[in-house]
Chain A
Amino acid sequence: MAQEPGPGALAVFLVAPRAVRRFAAALNVRGIVTVVAVLAAVDLAVAYAAAPWVTRFTQEQINRFSRTKVVVERVRLHPVLLSIDVDGFEVHDGKTRTRQFRAERASMSLDAWAALSGRAGLSRLELDGARLEAVPDASGRYDVRQPTASEMAKGTIDFLKREVTGQRVDFFRSSYDKLKDFLELNRKRRSADRSVKVQERPMNRGRLVDFTSDADPVFTIGRLSLRNATLVVKASEGAVPAIRDLRCQLDGFRLLRGGGQGFSRLELEGRLDSEKPGRFSLSARTEGAAADVDARIEGLDLAAFGPLFADSLPVAFTAGTARLELRARLDEQSLSAKGRFRLDGHRLVARKRLGFLDAVGEPVIAAINRRQTFEMPFEIGGTPDRPAMAGFKDALFKLLADDLKGALAEGGAQGLQEKGRALADKFKSIF
């Protein structure tokens, strides 16, 4: 006598179409369970039992091919899940052996689609609890890896130039130079021949014919995430407060065969750990050769963080906080930025001679210092190599004009005359 179907079977019968039911009936469930169990056993065995050997092998291979020294506490490789978990990943300066980077946990997954296409790639790379210490070398470079021979030569020339001229490089200048180099490199890569190159290589038997283009990605990361990170930047004048709770997400990163790099989206935010706490955020999106950037800083302690941009500004801040909002569009040939910044409780002093601007520089500084709060919209144009600060100059001249009008209102013609005499004296001292 046929067995009555249970309610579950009845539900499947009513809900699932006939083809699905026939497919399900044809499945070897026992075989599938066996295969899954075997794969799980293999994955766990390699991840845990083989971990010491995998750890040693990984460390040796990375140190052999990179110019840094890497120390790894434990590597767990999951061959079935195509993922790697790393505990205690550290990068040390190859020469001085000082630790420059540490991540408590790193986790990455192999990009199966990229692997099937014959190239290396990660679908995700996550770093938790990372700590990065950026220390400038003698040439002013901030980098975690050893420089190449050409970079060392350029660095030596830059160092000698700065020793002669007295011009130093701060973190802001170093970062801006890196951005310009990045844009210049990508411009050269884009203007280079992007057509497919055919190259024959003789093998033991037969020949290999390569079809390559400089625009081919050789390594990709689908998403790079950084959580709970800390960034400590040391300047030549000494340490500055750390940036804590740093969170970063970089999507669509790719290294190109011709040497360029690219990404589709970058989100960065963190907390400025000074006595007066502040926050910053940066969002960047790229579209072809152009990048749209949206940056905000609130509560930047100008005195504490001053060493980071000390040599890039003609003024120094001895007190106060700043707030900055900036929207910019960069590409290889042009820079267009609009924003506003605000100073609160500030105190400025001139750092160096401003040349012909001395005549108005000190009055401008005085005018800014007289205000408890100073807010200024600005526009920057030109190119990344030669930014045009016309918007700044116009706003500062307007500030000066407002002050002169104020002097006229307060002291009448005599007050204005005294101000004009002061300015004239300044001109005379120059000429």
Chain B
Amino acid sequence: MIKPVIALIRALQSGNGTGAVAAGVVLSLYFGLVPLAGTQTIFLVLLFFLLKINRAATVLCLPLVKAVYWLGADRAADAVGHALLTAEPLRPAWVWITRAPVLALFNLNHTGVLGGWVLAAALSWPVYQLASRGVRLYRDKLGARVNDWKAVRWLKSLALARWLSSWWPHEP
């Protein structure tokens, strides 16, 4: 757990682009709101490793998103998915999607899965904006103060933490 924490703090404080950190937060939305099984898991994991995002942000925000999911977002996703799948005007599109190569493997005819993707997509832009502003705010106002916290200074002082962070791949 120490590595991601150190990496996130470093990313928040470093010249690491706010976009990368915000994109990492957005990706955690998809991991948290879409029930993971089969092909979509592989797809999201590929995005996690291939995109220039802050992976520590994804890992640290995921528990929060998952908590929101279990506290009621899953029912909202199910309702959204059911409404879309049973909408008569959209039927030709679903018939095509459930037969199209690759898309057919994403289980988009499951109400929870479709609803999760739709919710995550709808929240992507606002969350990206919030996360970007949050990173800028932190760096401008809070960064120096957090560095002075006893806990943070203790963490950074740990030989183990210094050794681990020397092995952590440089975040973009």
Binding site for B on A (CB under 8 A): 113, 116-119, 196, 198, 200, 203, 205-211, 216
Q: Is the CB of A207 within 8 A of B98?
A: no
Q: Is the CB of B35 within 8 A of A118?
A: no
Q: Is the CB of A209 within 8 A of B91?
A: no
The interface residues of chain B lying within 8 Å CB-to-CB of A207 are: 78, 82, 110-111
Q: A113-B101, A208-B109, A209-B86 are in contact. List 18 more A-B contacts (CB 8 A).
A: A117-B99, A117-B104, A118-B99, A119-B104, A198-B91, A205-B74, A205-B112, A206-B81, A206-B110, A206-B112, A206-B113, A206-B115, A207-B78, A207-B110, A209-B94, A209-B109, A209-B110, A210-B109
| Across the A-B interface, the 6 shortest Cβ-Cβ residue pairs | A206-B112, A118-B104, A116-B101, A209-B85, A206-B111, A207-B111
The interface residues of chain A lying within 8 Å CB-to-CB of B115 are: 206
Q: Is the CB of B109 within 8 A of A116?
A: no
Contact of B98 among A116, A118, A205 (CB under 8 A): A118
B100 at the binding interface (Cβ < 8 Å): yes
How distant is the Cα of A216 from the Cα of B98 in the complex, in angstroms? 12
29 residue pairs of the A-B complex, CB under 8 angstroms, read A116-B101, A117-B99, A117-B100, A117-B101, A117-B104, A118-B98, A118-B104, A118-B105, A196-B91, A196-B95, A200-B86, A203-B110, A205-B35, A206-B78, A206-B110, A206-B111, A206-B112, A206-B115, A207-B78, A207-B110, A208-B111, A209-B82, A209-B85, A209-B110, A210-B109, A211-B94, A211-B95, A211-B109, A216-B99
**Chain B: interface size category:** 20 to 34
How distant is the Cα of A207 from the Cα of B115 in the complex, in angstroms? 11
Highest count of chain A CB atoms <10 Å: which of B35, B82, B101:
B101
The interface residues of chain A lying within 8 Å CB-to-CB of B159 are: none
How distant is the Cα of A118 from the Cα of B38 in the complex, in angstroms? 12
The interface residues of chain B lying within 8 Å CB-to-CB of A118 are: 98-99, 104-105
How distant is the Cα of A198 from the Cα of B81 in the complex, in angstroms? 15
Residue of B nearest to A211 (CB): B95
How distant is the Cα of A110 from the Cα of B98 in the complex, in angstroms? 20
User: Which parts of B72-95 form the interface with A (CB within 8 Å)?
Assistant: 74, 78, 81-82, 85-86, 91, 94-95
The interface residues of chain A lying within 8 Å CB-to-CB of B82 are: 207, 209
How distant is the Cα of A209 from the Cα of B83 in the complex, in angstroms? 11
Highest count of chain B CB atoms <10 Å: which of A113, A116, A118:
A118
The interface residues of chain A lying within 8 Å CB-to-CB of B91 are: 196, 198, 211
The interface residues of chain A lying within 8 Å CB-to-CB of B112 are: 205-206
Residue of A nearest to B100 (CB): A117
B102 at the binding interface (Cβ < 8 Å): yes
How distant is the Cα of A206 from the Cα of B83 in the complex, in angstroms? 12
The interface residues of chain B lying within 8 Å CB-to-CB of A205 are: 35, 74, 78, 112
The interface residues of chain B lying within 8 Å CB-to-CB of A119 are: 104
How distant is the Cα of A113 from the Cα of B95 in the complex, in angstroms? 17
CB distance from B51 to the nearest CB of A (A): 19
The interface residues of chain A lying within 8 Å CB-to-CB of B100 are: 117
Residue of A nearest to B35 (CB): A205
How distant is the Cα of A302 from the Cα of B82 in the complex, in angstroms? 66
Contact of A116 among B81, B85, B105 (CB under 8 A): B105
CB distance from A313 to the nearest CB of B (A): 48
How distant is the Cα of A200 from the Cα of B81 in the complex, in angstroms? 12
How distant is the Cα of A206 from the Cα of B95 in the complex, in angstroms? 19
Residue of A nearest to B113 (CB): A206
How distant is the Cα of A57 from the Cα of B102 in the complex, in angstroms? 28
User: Known: A209-B85, A211-B95, A211-B98. Is A116-B104 also a contact (CB below 8 A)?
Assistant: yes
How distant is the Cα of A210 from the Cα of B95 in the complex, in angstroms? 9
The interface residues of chain A lying within 8 Å CB-to-CB of B74 are: 205
User: Known: A196-B91, A196-B95, A198-B91. Is A209-B111 also a contact (CB below 8 A)?
Assistant: yes
How distant is the Cα of A205 from the Cα of B100 in the complex, in angstroms? 25
How distant is the Cα of A118 from the Cα of B104 in the complex, in angstroms? 6
CB distance from B131 to the nearest CB of A (A): 28
The interface residues of chain B lying within 8 Å CB-to-CB of A203 are: 110
The interface residues of chain A lying within 8 Å CB-to-CB of B98 are: 118, 210-211
Residue of A nearest to B102 (CB): A116
Residue of B nearest to A112 (CB): B101
The interface residues of chain A lying within 8 Å CB-to-CB of B78 are: 205-207
CB distance from A112 to the nearest CB of B (A): 9
CB distance from B90 to the nearest CB of A (A): 11
How distant is the Cα of A208 from the Cα of B82 in the complex, in angstroms? 9
User: Which parts of B22-57 form the interface with A (CB within 8 Å)?
Assistant: 35
CB distance from B89 to the nearest CB of A (A): 13
The interface residues of chain A lying within 8 Å CB-to-CB of B111 are: 206-209
The interface residues of chain A lying within 8 Å CB-to-CB of B94 are: 209, 211
Highest count of chain B CB atoms <10 Å: which of A113, A203, A208:
A208
How distant is the Cα of A316 from the Cα of B59 in the complex, in angstroms? 83
How distant is the Cα of A216 from the Cα of B111 in the complex, in angstroms? 22
